[in-house]
Amino acid sequence: MRLNGSFRLHALTLALVASIPAAHAADAPDYYGTLEPFAKEAVYFVVTDRFVNGDPSNDQREQGGPNPATRTFDRPTPGSDAGDNIGYLGGDFKGIVDHLDYIRGMGFSALWITPIVDNPDEAFTGGKPAQKGGFLTDGGKTGYHGYWGVNFYRLDEHLPSKGLDFKGLADAVHGQDMKLVLDIVGNHGSPAYSMPKPQPKFGQVFDRDGKLVADHQNLPPEKLDPKNNPLHRFYNTSGGLAELSDFNENNPDVMDYLAGAYAQWIGQGADAFRIDTIGWLPHPFWHEFVARMRREKPGMFMFGEAFEYDANKIAEHTWAKNANVSVLDFPLKQGLEKAFGHERAGFEVLTDRLFLDGGPYANPYELATFYDNHDMARLDASDEGFIDAHNWLFTARGIPVVYYGSEIGFMRGKPEHDGNRNYFGAERIASAPSHAIYRNLSRIAHVRAASPALQQGLQLNVELKGDRAAFYRVTQHEGVSQIALVLLNKGDAPAKFDVKQWMQPGTWRAAIAGGETKVRGSLKASIPAHGVEVFLLDAPVTQPQLRAELDRLMSVKRPE
Q: Which stretch binds Ca ion (CB under 5 A): 8-16, 54-62, 68-76, 421-429?
A: 54-62
* Residue 72 and residue 141 in contact, taking contact as beta carbons nearer than 8 Å: no
Closest approach of Cβ 304 to Ca ion, in Å?
14
Closest approach of Cβ 323 to Ca ion, in Å?
14
CB nearer Ca ion, residue 187 or residue 475: 187
Label each residue of 37-69 as H, E or C: HHHHCCEEEECHHHHCCCCHHHCCCCCCCCCCC
CB nearer Ca ion, residue 121 or residue 416: 121
Closest approach of Cβ 364 to Ca ion, in Å?
27
| 90 forms part of the interface with Ca ion (CB under 5 A) | yes
Q: Which stretch binds Ca ion (CB under 5 A): 46-54, 75-83, 202-210, 436-444?
A: 46-54
Q: How far apart are CA 159 and CA 141, in angstroms?
A: 18
Question: From the CB of residue 495, how many other CB atoms can be counted at a distance below 10 Å?
Answer: 20
Closest approach of Cβ 275 to Ca ion, in Å?
13
In the set 49, 122, 156, 366, which binds Ca ion (CB under 5 A)?
Answer: 156
Q: How far apart are CA 372 and CA 337, in angstroms?
A: 8
| 151 forms part of the interface with Ca ion (CB under 5 A) | no
Residue 385: helix, strand or coil by DSSP?
A: helix
| 467 forms part of the interface with Ca ion (CB under 5 A) | no
E strand map for 395-445: 399-403
Q: How far apart are CA 166 and CA 143, in angstroms?
A: 18
Q: What share of the chain is helix, strand, coil (3-state, %, to 5)?
A: 30, 20, 50
CB nearer Ca ion, residue 24 or residue 61: 61
Report which DSSP code applies to 152.
E
| 49 forms part of the interface with Ca ion (CB under 5 A) | no
Buried b / exposed e across 365-386, counting CB within 10 Å, b at 16+?
bbbbbbbbbbebbbbbbbebbb
Report the DSSP beta bridge partners of residue 477.
480
Closest approach of Cβ 23 to Ca ion, in Å?
53
Closest approach of Cβ 233 to Ca ion, in Å?
15
CB nearer Ca ion, residue 285 or residue 347: 285
- State the distance between the two ends of the chain, measured CA to CA, in whole angstroms: 44
Stretch 365-384: interaction string toward Ca ion, x if CB under 5 A = --------------------
| 187 forms part of the interface with Ca ion (CB under 5 A) | yes
* Exposed / middle / buried, residue 191 (Cβ in 10 Å: 0-12, 13-18, 19+): buried
Q: Which stretch binds Ca ion (CB under 5 A): 3-11, 243-251, 309-317, 469-477?
A: 243-251
Q: Which stretch binds Ca ion (CB under 5 A): 88-96, 282-290, 365-373, 517-525?
A: 88-96
* Residue 43 and residue 112 in contact, taking contact as beta carbons nearer than 8 Å: yes
Residue type present at position 28: A
Residues across the chain = 560
| 475 forms part of the interface with Ca ion (CB under 5 A) | no
| 246 forms part of the interface with Ca ion (CB under 5 A) | yes
In the set 41, 59, 337, 418, which binds Ca ion (CB under 5 A)?
Answer: 59
Residue type present at position 176: Q
Q: How far apart are CA 209 and CA 261, in angstroms?
A: 12
Q: Which stretch binds Ca ion (CB under 5 A): 149-157, 213-221, 292-300, 455-463?
A: 149-157
The torsion angles phi and psi of 343, rounded to 5 degrees, stand at: -65, -30
Q: How far apart are CA 485 and CA 482, in angstroms?
A: 10
* Exposed / middle / buried, residue 91 (Cβ in 10 Å: 0-12, 13-18, 19+): buried
The torsion angles phi and psi of 498, rounded to 5 degrees, stand at: -140, 90
If we measure between CA atoms, which residue out of 366, 351, 384 comes closest to residue 470?
351
| 58 forms part of the interface with Ca ion (CB under 5 A) | yes
Q: Which stretch binds Ca ion (CB under 5 A): 1-9, 118-126, 345-353, 492-500?
A: 118-126
CB nearer Ca ion, residue 121 or residue 305: 121
CB nearer Ca ion, residue 94 or residue 448: 94
C-alpha distances in Å from residue 29, one per residue of 454, 501, 505: 19, 21, 19
CB nearer Ca ion, residue 53 or residue 455: 53
Closest approach of Cβ 463 to Ca ion, in Å?
44
| 280 forms part of the interface with Ca ion (CB under 5 A) | yes
Q: Which stretch binds Ca ion (CB under 5 A): 24-32, 53-61, 210-218, 473-481?
A: 53-61
| 53 forms part of the interface with Ca ion (CB under 5 A) | yes
Residue 32 CA, distance from chain mean position: 21
CB nearer Ca ion, residue 138 or residue 329: 138
* Exposed / middle / buried, residue 68 (Cβ in 10 Å: 0-12, 13-18, 19+): exposed
- By CB under 5 A, how many residues form the interface with Ca ion? 13
CB nearer Ca ion, residue 199 or residue 363: 199
Q: Which stretch binds Ca ion (CB under 5 A): 242-250, 383-391, 398-406, 441-449?
A: 242-250
CB nearer Ca ion, residue 59 or residue 418: 59
* Residue 416 and residue 403 in contact, taking contact as beta carbons nearer than 8 Å: no
Closest approach of Cβ 367 to Ca ion, in Å?
24
Closest approach of Cβ 192 to Ca ion, in Å?
13
Q: Which stretch binds Ca ion (CB under 5 A): 273-281, 341-349, 423-431, 481-489?
A: 273-281
Closest approach of Cβ 425 to Ca ion, in Å?
12
| 204 forms part of the interface with Ca ion (CB under 5 A) | no
CB nearer Ca ion, residue 375 or residue 538: 375
| 504 forms part of the interface with Ca ion (CB under 5 A) | no
Residues 297-336, interacting with Ca ion (CB under 5 A): none
Q: How far apart are CA 209 and CA 232, in angstroms?
A: 19
The torsion angles phi and psi of 184, rounded to 5 degrees, stand at: -125, 150
| 416 forms part of the interface with Ca ion (CB under 5 A) | no
In the complex, the residues that contact Ca ion under the rule CB under 5 A are 53, 55, 58-59, 90, 92, 118-119, 121, 156, 187, 246, 280
